A and B are shown apart, each in its own frame.
Chain A
Amino acid sequence: MYIANNVLRDRLDAEEVFNDALLAAWNSIPPQNPANLKTYLGKLTREIAINRWKKNKRQKRIPSEITQSLDEIAEMVSGGDFEEGLEQAELSREISRFLFSIDETKRNVFIRRYWHYDSIESICQRYGFGKSRVLMMLKRTRDDLARHLKKEGFIT
Chain B
Amino acid sequence: MKEDIMRQAIGDIDDRLIAGAEKQPTTRRPGISWVKWGSIAAAFKLAAVAAVACLVIVCVFAIVPNLRKSDLFNGNGPATDNTAAPKTDDETGDRLFSWTEHYENVLQDDSYCHYKMGKHIESDMISGKICNSKVQGGMVTPNGWSPEYEFDAEIFSISGVSPEVAVAVKSKTLTYEIKDDGEIVELIFKDDLYVMYNPESDLTTIKDYIVTFIDPNPFRY
* B150 within 8 Å of A (CB atoms): no
Asked whether B3 lies within 8 Å of A39 as measured between CB atoms, the reply is no
B6: which of A36, A39, A76, A111 is its contact (CB, 8 Å)? A76
Whether the Cβ atoms of A108 and B9 lie closer than 8 Å is no
> Using an 8 Å CB-CB cutoff, how does the interface string of A39-74 with B read, 1 for contact, 0 for none?
110110011001000000000000000001010011
With contacts A99-B13, A139-B187 taken as known, whether A108 is within 8 angstroms of B21 at the C-beta atoms is yes
Question: B85-108: which have CB < 8 Å to A?
Answer: 96, 98, 100-103
- For chain A residues 1-59, which have a beta carbon within 8 Å of chain B? 34-36, 38-40, 42-43, 46-47, 50
Instruction: Check B18–A111 contact: CB distance below 8 A.
Output: yes
What B residues does A111 contact at CB under 8 A? 13, 17-18, 20-21
Question: Does B36 belong to the interface (CB within 8 Å)?
Answer: no
Considering the complex, give the chain A residue whose CB is closest to the CB of B219. A131
Asked whether A73 lies within 8 Å of B6 as measured between CB atoms, the reply is yes
Residues of B near A68 (CB, < 8 A) are: 179, 184
Over the window 1-32 of chain B, the binary record of Cβ atoms lying under 8 Å from chain A Cβ atoms (1 yes, 0 no) is 01101111111111101111110110111100
Q: Is B185 an interface residue (CB 8 A)?
A: yes
Q: In whole angstroms, how far apart are the Cα atoms of A135 and B148 in the complex?
A: 14
The answer for the CA separation of A116 and B8 in the assembled complex, in Å, is: 13
Overall SS of chain B's interface = mixed
Q: How far is the CA of A76 from the CA of B30 in the complex (A)?
A: 31
Cβ of A132 and Cβ of B5 under 8 Å apart? no
Say whether B218 faces chain A, with CB atoms less than 8 Å apart. yes
The answer to whether B3 and A73 touch across the interface, beta carbons within 8 angstroms, is: yes
* Chain A: CB-nearest residue to B29: A128
Task: Report Cα–Cα, A116/B11, bound state, in Å.
Answer: 9
Contacts of B98 in A (CB 8 A): 130, 132
- A108-B20, A111-B21, A112-B21 in contact; A131/B9 too (CB < 8 A)? no
Pick the 4 closest A-B CB pairs, nearest first: A111-B21, A92-B12, A96-B14, A91-B9
Q: Could you list some 20 contacts between A and B, CB below 8 A?
A: A39-B18, A39-B22, A42-B18, A68-B179, A68-B184, A74-B2, A76-B6, A82-B2, A88-B5, A91-B5, A93-B14, A96-B17, A99-B17, A111-B18, A130-B101, A132-B102, A132-B103, A133-B139, A135-B186, A139-B187
